[in-house]
């Protein structure tokens, strides 16, 4: 059983880049590796490190103020492109439990939920405001129970699909839930000539 995810609190790293595709989140050459702690190094690898492996000082994830923070405030269209779930593994290995953005790639959004990484969609102006707060080092709380982001002295409501929310809050295994529907799946197969 996965650990429940009820709320995420702490500082946030602002990533003011639109269309961050999953190739940026984890370059393809790392995908053959089994999932382990090294995924923290693969995360945003080519943005974080130069050709010689030295950290690029101007990339926000190399800013010591944001080391190990649990929240990322991105821009629009985060996680577009390839279906690689390793993009979520890489973010998780970095210690990110929640990404806030204007919009997400559909497959990334789904992959994130299945891995207990909370993708929060908020309007552009709110995301911009939160990025500014993140930049200023203001901590925030993403409360999945109430579906609000609290930052500064404001609350911003968001929604997560109801069933996914329940799975996160209770730490439920989705395959286990679906297996309870096996009789219906079998009946469907029988009724439609797929048995």
Partner 1 sequence: MLGPRTLFAKVFDAHTILTRDDGQALLYVDLHLCHEGSFHAFNALRAAGRKVRRPDRTIGVADHYAPTDARSTAAIGNDEIRGIIETFRTNMRANALRHFDLDDPRQGIVHVVGPEQGLTRPGMLIVCGDSHTSTHGALGALAFGIGASEVAHVLATQALWQARPKVMRVELSGLLAPPVTAKDAALALIARKIGTGGAAGHAIEFVGEAVSAMSVEQRLTLCNMAIEAGARCGMVAPDATTRAYLAERGVAWQAAWDALVTDDSATFDAGTALDVSELPPMITWGTSPEEAAPVNEGVPQPDATRDPAAARRSLDYMGLAAGTPFADVTVDRVFIGSCTNSRIEDLRAAAAVLRGRKARVSAMVSPGSTGVKRQAEREGLDRLFIEAGFAWRESGCSLCVAMNGDVAAPGERVASTSNRNFPGRQGRLARTHLMSPASAAAAAITGRLADVREFA
Contact residues for partner 1, defined by CB under 8 A: 17-19, 21, 23-24, 27-29, 31-35, 46, 51, 76-77, 80-86, 88, 103-107, 110-111, 114-115, 161-163, 173-175, 178-179, 181-182, 184-185, 188-189, 192, 194
**Ramachandran area for residue 169 (φ above 0: left; ψ -120 to 50: alpha; else beta):** alpha
Contacts of 122 (CB under 8 A, 6+ apart): 100, 101, 102, 130, 149, 156, 158
Q: Closer CB to partner 1, residue 23 or residue 135?
A: 23
The candidate with the shortest Cα–Cα distance to 59, out of 78, 39, 43, is 43
Token pair belonging to 137: 């080092």
| Shortest distance, position 166 Cβ to partner 1, whole Å | 9
| Shortest distance, position 107 Cβ to partner 1, whole Å | 6
Q: What is the DSSP string of 79-100?
A: TBS---THHHHHHHHHT--EEE
The candidate with the shortest Cα–Cα distance to 9, out of 179, 148, 139, 156, is 139
| Shortest distance, position 130 Cβ to partner 1, whole Å | 19
Q: Closer CB to partner 1, residue 152 or residue 166?
A: 166
| Shortest distance, position 163 Cβ to partner 1, whole Å | 5
| Shortest distance, position 186 Cβ to partner 1, whole Å | 10
Sign of CA dihedral 176, 82, 35, 144: negative
Q: Closer CB to partner 1, residue 25 or residue 69?
A: 25
Q: Closer CB to partner 1, residue 120 or residue 151?
A: 120
Q: Closer CB to partner 1, residue 145 or residue 189?
A: 189
């Amino acid at each position: 059983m996965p650990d429940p995810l009820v709320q995420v609190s702490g500082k946030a790293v602002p990533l003011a880049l639109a269309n961050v595709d999953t190739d940026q989140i984890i370059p393809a050459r790392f995908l053959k590796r089994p999932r382990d702690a090294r995924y923290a190094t693969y995360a945003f690898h080519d943005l974080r490190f130069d050709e010689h492996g030295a950290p690029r000082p101007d990339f926000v994830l190399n800013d010591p103020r944001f080391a190990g923070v649990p929240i990322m405030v991105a821009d629009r269209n985060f996680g577009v492109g390839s279906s690689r779930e390793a993009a979520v593994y890489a973010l998780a290995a970095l210690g990110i439990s929640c990404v806030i953005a204007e919009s997400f790639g559909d497959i990334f959004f789904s992959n994130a939920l299945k891995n207990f990484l909370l993708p929060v969609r908020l309007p552009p102006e709110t995301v911009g405001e939160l990025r500014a707060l993140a930049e200023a080092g203001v901590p925030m709380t993403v409360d999945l129970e109430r579906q609000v982001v609290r930052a500064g002295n404001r609350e911003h409501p968001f929604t997560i699909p109801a069933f996914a929310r329940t799975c996160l809050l209770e730490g439920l295994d989705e395959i286990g839930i679906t297996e309870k529907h096996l009789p219906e799946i079998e009946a469907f197969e029988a009724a439609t000539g797929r048995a």
